[in-house]
Amino acid sequence: MSSRIMPRRTVLGALAGLGGLVSLGASSEPLAALRTGGLALLMRHARTTAGAGDPPGYRLGDCATQRNLDDAGRAHSQRVGQWFTANGIKPGRVRNSPWCRCRDTAKLAFGRSEDWAALGNIFDRELDPAHVAEVLHFVAQLKPGEVAVLVSHGVTIAALTDVHPATAEGVLVRTRAGERVEVIGRLVVP
């Protein structure tokens, strides 16, 4: 298995005009797709303090050693949660990378989080094929009406989808057992 999973079809972008949603590919109504469920939103953590990666010697168990959300990132995370509430969408599951910036984005947006190593940062290493399989299996198991939010890192989401999201941007995906990720839209909450 390749360490990069990309969508089967070419991703075509167009502004959908639906409260921050951008449509990609076949679905012209990503908000309707979110309401229908059976999909996951791979969301990049919100804005952090300046830099790339983490400082040398960072430790996952010590947020003070990592790059963390700045004030704008915390406010943006809250706006994402408000957007979901305003549109009547309640994620059934919220999982996040164990990095503090992802956990904090999830908690501020959705009031909860669940650390998941499969969503970890691959900034300085390759994507683990076992983690890819975990994510694909999780998304494939989502039932109609069920929406999961998976908060991760830009490089990890790009490796899974071939989409490079901005901070706090989400990539809507679905998959079926044994298939690759299908990108069906993007969520941009200003």
14 or 165: which leads in pLDDT: 165
- Flag whether pLDDT at 68 surpasses 80: yes
Instruction: Report the range of poorest mean pLDDT among 12-21, 32-41, 43-52.
Output: 12-21
The confidence score (pLDDT) of residue 81 equals 97
The confidence score (pLDDT) of residue 115 equals 96
The confidence score (pLDDT) of residue 127 equals 67
For 17-38, what is the mean pLDDT? 60
- Flag whether pLDDT at 25 surpasses 80: no
For 33-43, what is the mean pLDDT? 93
Q: In the chain, which ranges are E strands?
A: 13-15, 21-24, 39-44, 93-96, 147-152, 170-174, 182-187
The confidence score (pLDDT) of residue 50 equals 83
Domains of the chain: 13-49+65-187 (3.40.50.1240)
CA distance 17 to 77: 21
How confident is the prediction for the chain on average, in pLDDT?
Answer: 82
Instruction: Report the range of poorest mean pLDDT among 88-92, 164-168, 179-183.
Output: 179-183
What count of residues does the chain have? Answer: 190
Q: How confident is the model at residue 144 (pLDDT cuts 50, 70, 90)?
A: very high
Instruction: Report the range of poorest mean pLDDT among 11-20, 23-32, 55-64.
Output: 11-20
